[in-house]
């Protein structure tokens, strides 16, 4: 992936009345737009027919398709324009995923570094605490009859 190319997920929903052969043609067309524009299609996932959360263009369900692509940002805006004017596509969304991957990697790196740093001081603190004996409870030194008298005195007060 070169410096100008970024990772994107393009999900679009095709009208439910479109047949399987036409769906394949739509996927090939949009994949072709990506490759001719200088991008690469990493994965195509047909997620099948699903119910929509709300009615879109009088449809209650649609066929979901996910394209995972590496492409320049300028190409994505062109693909979005073509998705917008496509009669069979009723809804689409494009999400840039490389920023998210970078963010997750940064958090993981920070977490790993933090775990390594915090593990060392804990080990030294345990070795210091280990030789000192635990304090003995003072209740064992008090005679049994004194323990019985205390609650009564506290209850009267």
Domains of the chain, residue spans: 5-101
* Three-class DSSP category at 45: strand
Amino acid 100: pLDDT? 78
Give the containing element (helix H, strand E) for 55.
strand 40-56
For the cut 90, the answer to whether the pLDDT of residue 146 exceeds it is no
**Rounded-to-integer distance, Cα 11 and Cα 87, Å:** 16
Q: pLDDT tens for residues 71-123?
A: 999 999 999 999 999 999 999 999 999 887 888 888 988 888 877 766 555 55
Looking at residue 114, its pLDDT comes to 78
Query: What is the second-level CATH architecture of the domain 5-101?
Result: 2-Layer Sandwich (3.30)
Confidence of residue 14 (pLDDT cuts 50, 70, 90): very high
Angle at 94 between CA 60 and CA 68, to 5 degrees: 100
Give whole-number Cα distances, 139 to 62, 81, 144, 147, 153, in Å: 74, 81, 9, 9, 17
pTM score, whole prediction: 0.65
CA distances from residue 144 to 93, 135, 137, 139 in whole angstroms, order as listed: 77, 21, 14, 9
pLDDT in tens, 37-72: 999 999 999 999 999 999 999 999 999 999 999 999
Q: Which residue has the tokens 């080990």?
A: 123
How far separated are the first and last CA of the chain, in Å rounded? Answer: 81
Higher pLDDT, 29 or 145: 29
42: its two tokens = 């990493």
């Amino acid at each position: 992936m070169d410096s100008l190319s970024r990772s994107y997920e393009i999900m679009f929903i095709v009208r439910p009345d479109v047949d399987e052969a036409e769906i394949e043609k739509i996927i090939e067309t949009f994949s072709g737009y990506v490759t001719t524009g200088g991008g690469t299609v990493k994965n195509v996932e047909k997620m099948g027919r699903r119910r929509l959360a709300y009615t879109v263009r009088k449809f209650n369900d649609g066929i979901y398709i996910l394209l995972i692509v590496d492409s320049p940002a300028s190409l994505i805006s062109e693909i979005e324009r073509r998705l917008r004017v496509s009669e069979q596509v009723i809804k689409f969304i494009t999400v840039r995923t490389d920023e998210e991957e970078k963010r997750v990697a940064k958090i993981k790196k920070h977490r790993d570094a933090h775990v390594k740093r915090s593990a060392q001081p804990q080990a030294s603190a345990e070795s210091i605490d280990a030789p000192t004996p635990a304090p003995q409870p003072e209740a064992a030194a008090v005679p049994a009859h004194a323990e019985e008298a205390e609650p009564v005195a506290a209850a009267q007060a």
